[in-house]
Amino acid sequence: MQVLRLEALSDNYIFLLCDRPNRGDCGCYTTTASAGAYGDRQKNIAAVVDPAQAQPVLKKLHELKLNLVAIFNTHHHSDHVGANKELIQLFPDVKVYGGAEDRGRIPGQKVFLQEGERVKFADRVAEVIFVPGHTRAHIAYYFPPQNPEETGELFCGDTLFAGGCGRLFEGTPTQMVESLSKLRSLPENTRVWCAHEYTLKNLQFALTVDGNNPHLQQRYDEVKAYRNRGEATVPSLLEIEKRTNPFLRWDQPALQSATKSKDSVQTFARLRGMKDRF
C-alpha cells in the first residue's frame, strides 16, 4: 500500500491509498500494504480518506491510472466528505465507509462501521476505532504494521492532530480523553495521518503550557523550519506526539500544574478550553 498526501482547501489533507503493481516514483509514502476486500485481488486501485475536494483526487487518479474503489470517511463534516457525491458519480461502484453513528450524514455511505470492525484495502486490514469527541460519530482507521520494523498507519481525521486535537463540537471531554487514550495506546511507530496542517499553531500553544519540555522545544524549531520552506508536517509519528502533544499528556505533572488539576478529564478540558481561546 502506498499513501499519497494531497492538499485541499486552505489547510486540509486528503490521503490517497494506492495499490499499484509497478509503482515507480509517484511521490507516495510506501508501506508494505495494499488493499482490497473487493472480491478477487485487484491492481491499480485506490481508496481515498476524507476527500474534501474532488479535483486533487481526480488529477492523481488520472495521473497514476488508478480506479477508485473506496472512500473512507472519518466523520461527516463538509471538509471531509465534500467530494463524495462527485466521486460517486464518476465511480458508481465505489464503496463509501463511515461510522454507524453517522448514518444519514455522510453522502453515499454504504458501509456503517462500529468499534472493532475491520476493513480491507489490497492486502492490508484496518481496524476501526470509535473515537467520539470532535463529533459524536467520529471513527479512525488503523492499519497495523505487517512486521515490527515497519510503521502502522493511523488515519484519525480531526480527533488527533500533530501537536493538538480537534475541538469538541458534539462530544464531551470525557469522551475525548477516552478516544485519545485509545490512540495513545497504539504502537509508537505509528504514522499519524491527521487531516489538517495545524502543527505550527498547535506547538505555539503547547509551549505556553509545557514550555520546559526539551522535546517540544526541539520539535517546534524543526516544524517552524519545515513551514518556512513550505513543507508539510504530516504525517507525524505517535512516539513524537506522546512526547510533545499536550493533549496526549494530561497525566504529566507539567500539564497538571498548568491547569491546576490532577484529574485527567479536568486537566484535558482546561487545556482544550485554553487552546480554544489561544
pLDDT digits (tens, 9 = 90+) for 158-207: 999 999 999 999 999 999 999 999 999 999 999 999 999 999 999 999 99
51 touches 75 (CB < 8 A): no
Residue 24: band (very low, low, confident or very high) from pLDDT cuts 50, 70, 90: very low
Q: How far are the Cα atoms of 95, 109, 113, 137, 141 from residue 77, in angstroms, in the given order? A: 18, 13, 17, 11, 17
Q: How far are the Cα atoms of 84, 104, 240 from residue 110, in angstroms, in the given order? A: 12, 10, 35
Dihedral angle of Cα 63, 235, 141, 115, to the nearest 10 degrees: -160
Determine phi and psi for 170, rounding to 5 degrees. -125, -10
Helix, strand, coil content of the chain in percent (nearest 5): 35, 25, 40
Instruction: Supply angle C-alpha 190, 106, 154, rounded to 5.
Output: 0
Amino acid at 165: C
pLDDT tens digits, one per residue of 228-238: 999 999 999 99
pTM across the whole model? 0.92
Q: Alpha carbon 181 to chain centroid distance?
A: 15
Instruction: Supply angle C-alpha 146, 152, 153, rounded to 5.
Output: 125
**What pLDDT score was predicted for residue 113?**
97
**What pLDDT score was predicted for residue 28?**
42
Per CATH, the number for 2-276 is: 3.60.15.10
**What pLDDT score was predicted for residue 165?**
98
Q: Beta-carbon neighbour count of residue 277 at 10 Å?
A: 6
What DSSP state is assigned to residue 196? B
Helix (H) or strand (E) holding 66: none
61 touches 68 (CB < 8 A): yes
Residue 131: band (very low, low, confident or very high) from pLDDT cuts 50, 70, 90: very high
In sequence order, the 6+-apart residues with CB closer than 8 A to the CB of 195 are: 12, 13, 50, 74, 79, 80, 156, 157, 158
**What pLDDT score was predicted for residue 22?**
55
Whether 43 shows a pLDDT value over 80: the answer reads: no
Separation of alpha carbons 97 and 112, rounded Å? 6
Whether 123 shows a pLDDT value over 90: the answer reads: no
Average pLDDT of the chain, as a whole number = 92
